[in-house]
Chain A
């Protein structure tokens, strides 16, 4: 096996693992984080369902989630990870801490994006008889979609970084590969190649995010 063949044989499955980890945790963190962000907006100051206590609790929970270092989060949720995935190592298991790390971040980005929706536009819809659910469906999400997509790209890039860290503690993927070959065996070629793939991945994510966001911005 030539050295190029060997590099590809190592890189390809690791790339797929990283892609799967990032894609799944991106999906799941948005599935949970967007509703949480909307809840922050609805209950927050001046929101249509303003509730000081609920907001304070959610707000503190989000801040708490965002302040826990990723490595500590990963280790401390091992029982949950085991319960959900049946294992605590490998790319499938890594999706649990990755999702939990991104979730409060997504919630905050969603809150920030929705808060930029013009107050007058919201009132116009209220004056038409819109319910809270109508507001979410017709105003909050569509009007902030360009910002939500930009935020999604930021989250995806962060997840690529986190997934490399998850890899280093047994998650698999490109980060794992770079550490195993680069740090432990001094095979600089493999390490550089995996870093190059990560860099390319981040570039592609950002490019796509910017493109889509710009197209949505009317």
Chain B
């Protein structure tokens, strides 16, 4: 489903370019839950940003459903996101402060021009599934960190994505809630065979649901990737 080949990406730091991804390659099968692990600052978010077409790699290729997506930007990237059903949960949640929890979850449906009533009931359903039924009319500023994170997860799931990119989706949650969220992801994965890439520090929590993964480790030049280290 997803193929990453020799991916390289550097950023312009204050003292010249920093090589973050240095020849990263791996494959994710359709319907797999794939883990991405590694210490802080190693480039996990950067990798997900490339996969969600928010960042263009310097070199290397990304294929999603056999389509080469790594060089797309603007309108082309938008069409691919919609067509391939890409959905992202960001490390920083990135909720809209001007919208309630419900409004935030409805947004991707509004963007897809889903009729309002339908969008509303779907969004409510997802908020219930993530345990936030009673918080639907709260604005992000009145939600706890974990609640915001669950709104972000509900927002990513509401479109029934085919590819789900999760950046530390349970970092702000207690063990029990984290497990229930991961079980929800697994359930969706089982029922709809959603392909899931999950970045997480909580390896022991993710282990039961992930089939394979990569460990990204910093080395002199950048990042070295070992496959299948976890299972």
Contact partner, A130, options B88, B90, B111, Cβ 8 Å: B111
Q: Mark B76-108, 1 if CB is under 8 A from A, else 0.
A: 001001100011101010111111000000011
- Chain A residues with CB below 8 A from B184, complex form: none
Q: Which residue of A lies closest to B113 (CB)?
A: A134
Q: Which residue of B lies closest to A122 (CB)?
A: B94
Contact partner, A138, options B95, B107, B140, B141, Cβ 8 Å: B107
- Chain B residues with CB below 8 A from A118, complex form: 94
Please state if A142 and B96 are interface contacts (CB–CB under 8 Å): yes
- Chain A residues with CB below 8 A from B195, complex form: none
- Contacts A123-B54, A218-B140; A138 near B96 (Cβ below 8 A): yes
Please state if A127 and B52 are interface contacts (CB–CB under 8 Å): yes
Please state if B96 and A129 are interface contacts (CB–CB under 8 Å): no
* Alpha-carbon distance between A150 and B67 when the two chains are bound, in angstroms: 47
* Alpha-carbon distance between A120 and B75 when the two chains are bound, in angstroms: 19
- Contacts A126-B54, A142-B98, A143-B97; A134 near B139 (Cβ below 8 A): no
- Chain B residues with CB below 8 A from A77, complex form: none
Contact partner, B97, options A129, A131, A218, Cβ 8 Å: A218
Tally the A-B contacts, defined by beta carbons under 8 Å.
67
Interface residue count on the A side (C-beta < 8 Å): 20
Interface presence of A53 (CB below 8 A): no
Could you tell me the distance in whole angstroms from the C-beta of A166 to the nearest C-beta in chain B? 36
How large, as a class, is the contact surface on chain B?
20 to 34
Please state if B111 and A134 are interface contacts (CB–CB under 8 Å): yes
Chain A interface, >50% SS class: helix
Q: Mark A123-167, 1 if CB is under 8 A from B, else 0.
A: 111111111001000110011010000000000000000000000
Interface residues of B in 142-171 (CB under 8 A from A): 142, 155, 159
- Chain A residues with CB below 8 A from B54, complex form: 123, 126-127
Please state if A120 and B94 are interface contacts (CB–CB under 8 Å): yes
Q: Residue among B86, B107, B112, B140 with the most chain A CB within 10 A?
A: B107
Interface presence of B118 (CB below 8 A): no
* Alpha-carbon distance between A143 and B107 when the two chains are bound, in angstroms: 13
Please state if B111 and A121 are interface contacts (CB–CB under 8 Å): no
- Contacts A120-B92, A124-B90, A129-B81; A218 near B108 (Cβ below 8 A): no
- Chain B residues with CB below 8 A from A139, complex form: 96
Please state if A120 and B90 are interface contacts (CB–CB under 8 Å): yes
- Chain B residues with CB below 8 A from A218, complex form: 97-98, 139-142
- Contacts A129-B108, A142-B98, A218-B97; A124 near B82 (Cβ below 8 A): no
Interface presence of B58 (CB below 8 A): no
Could you tell me the distance in whole angstroms from the C-beta of B92 to the nearest C-beta in chain A? 5
Which B residues form the contact surface with A (CB < 8 A)?
52-54, 74-75, 78, 81-82, 86-88, 90, 92, 94-99, 107-108, 110-112, 139-142, 155, 159
